[in-house]
Amino acid sequence: MTLLRIDRDGVRRIGGQCRLVLPDGVEAQRLRYTCRGGDLHAFTRGTWYGTAIDELQAVALSS
C-alpha cells in the first residue's frame, strides 16, 4: 500500500510502500477498500475491517 496526500499543489506520496495485514497476520489480498474521513475500511467475504489512516501514516513514515 502507498499513502498519497491530495492537496492544492497536487498529489504526493507519504512515506514508503508498506504491506497491509489482517489481524491474524495474513497479508490482505483481494479486499475492497474505501476511505471515509480519516478511516480506511476494507471488506472481504462478509468481514469488515477498519483502521485510522493516521495509524497507517505513522507506519509508512517509519519505513
Which regions of the chain are under pLDDT 70? 63
Specify the pLDDT at position 63: 62
> According to the model, what pLDDT value does residue 8 have?
94
Contacts of 18 (CB under 8 A, 6+ apart): 1, 2, 56, 59, 60, 63
Give pTM, 2 decimals.
0.66
The pLDDT value recorded for residue 41 is: 93
